[in-house]
Structures are given as structure tokens and as C-alpha cells.
Amino acid sequence: MGRRTVKRRTRMVRAEGTVRRGDEILVEEPLEIRVDGAPYSTTMRTPGGDFDLAAGFLHSEGVIAEADDLVSVKYCRLNGTEMYNIVEVRTAARVEAPCGRSHLVNSSCGVCGKRTVEEIAGRAVRVPEDGRTVDGSVVAGLAEDMKPGQELFAKTGGAHAAALVDFRGEVLAVREDIGRHNAVDKVVGWALREGALPLSETVLAVTSRASFEIVQKAAFAGVPVVSAVSAPSSMAVSLAEEAGMTLVAFNRGERYNVYTRPERIGGVA
């Protein structure tokens, strides 16, 4: 696996003067994803969890739907050496051969506006309206519960994180990346490879704003509750409502806003 951080010299300019010191910087590198021998897409990411990233990305693209769609996920080998920037995905015979993307996907890119809310909602796993709720204390504690898994953020201050937390408050997985969408793909890809989809009775917590793309990825994975530290977008709220999801934003612990389906959070009138 490639390095996740690098050291660089920096000059820290402060009111009292300039200090020279070493700084740890988050790595951003390309990852090429190949499907059944053909190039599919290249995305910018922070190394680590590359197999989960590839699986989650292909799930959000509609290429694969479940663990059985994957035959293998591995790094490409060239002259006996593993190429850590190329992941080869082999799919089951029943999986339709995808058309590769023709452009580089940056670390902040999701669906890039290529699908409408109605199309995304049509592919979403419908959230059961069975009265199951997550306690408000679980929602309020998400940011603190994620912190032990945010090693890269602690070192560099530059990593986004996504976490899957069950309705009892147990943290199932935390992944970090320079791109917020990549972090989500990594946790969804982990769940897919574990055979845990759809993610019913699970909260997806992110350290970023609640964008349309993040809600989209959660909707495809059957996540009933999405919680973001920062603001939601109008399309994110519309998609969450259409897909029957609960969307929480500005989650700063004891204070948060619930934009859709508040009945799924215990204690919210």
C-alpha cells in the first residue's frame, strides 16, 4: 500500500514571527479501477482501503449490487510487482460489462450531475417504515464516536471521514480519505464485501457537508439515516425526502438539525 502521509518543511507565520518546522501532509494520488480487464475509471484518493473504495465506487455506479457480484479485487501486478495505484476487479459472469468513464474523477466528485433526483430515488433501496428508531443520544454522539478512527485527520487536519454506526451506537467501520465521497465509498464498499448490504438500522456519519452525492450513495446502500457535521444542499434534502431517508446536518453533538423524516430519531418531536 502506498504512503498515506508525507513530511514537508513549512514556514509557520505567526504574529510573533516565523517558525520553520516539519509538517505532515495527506497524500493524494490517482487510483485506476479496472473491471474485468478493461479500464473503467481513475479517481484521486488517499491510499488505504483501496479495495473497499473500488467496490463502493462500482456499487454507486450501478456496476455491482452485492458481494456475490465480486469474484476478486486485487492490485495489478507488473513484472511481479504490485502496482498500488491500479486495482483490478473481476465480476461474476452475470454482471453486465460496464462502459468506462471517459474522464478523471477528482477526490470531491460524485455523480457529477449525470443523474436526476428521480432516477437516483428509483435505484435507492427503500427504507422500511416500520417504526424502528435511533435514539437521539446516538445521533448526538456520532462525532465523538468516530474520532478513534480518524488517525489521518489527527496527523494532517486534511482528511474527511465516513462512519457506519448501528442504531445501538456501535461503530461498525470508519474510513478516511482526502475526498468526502471516497470516504463514503470506502465504508459502503467494506459493507458490500462483508455481505452487509442493505444497511438497514445504520447511520452514515460524515465529517463534511451533506451533498447530493453522499445522500445518493447512502440511498443505494439502503442507509436510513445520514448525519453530516456541516450544511445540507437543497438536492440532498430533496433526495432524502424522496427516498424515505432521515437527513441530519449541522450535527455538533447536542445540537443538530433534522431535515427529513424526524420520526426516525427518538426524542425528536
Q: Which residues contact 138 (CB under 8 A, 6 or more apart)?
A: 165, 167, 168, 169, 203
CB-based contact 193:55 (threshold 8 Å): yes
The strands making up 202-206's β-sheet, listed across from edge to edge, are 171-177, 160-166, 202-206, 225-228, 246-249, 257-260
Long-range contacts at 259-264 (CB < 8 A, ≥ 24 apart): 259/232, 263/133, 264/132, 264/133, 264/134, 264/224, 264/225
Task: Indicate the annotated binding residues.
Answer: 250-255
Q: Which residues contact 268 (CB under 8 A, 6 or more apart)?
A: 136, 258, 262
| DSSP string covering 136-195 | HHHHHTHHHHHGGG-HHHHHHS--EEEEEEETTS-EEEEEEESSHHHHHHHHHHHHHHTT
C-alpha to C-alpha distances, 112 to 19, 61, 137, 235, nearest whole angstrom: 41, 11, 34, 13
Q: Which amino acid is at 76?
A: C
Task: Give yes or no: 109 in active site.
Answer: yes
Q: How many CB atoms lie within 10 A of CB 1?
A: 10
**Given 76, 99, 109, 112, the catalytic residue:** 109
Catalytic residues: 109
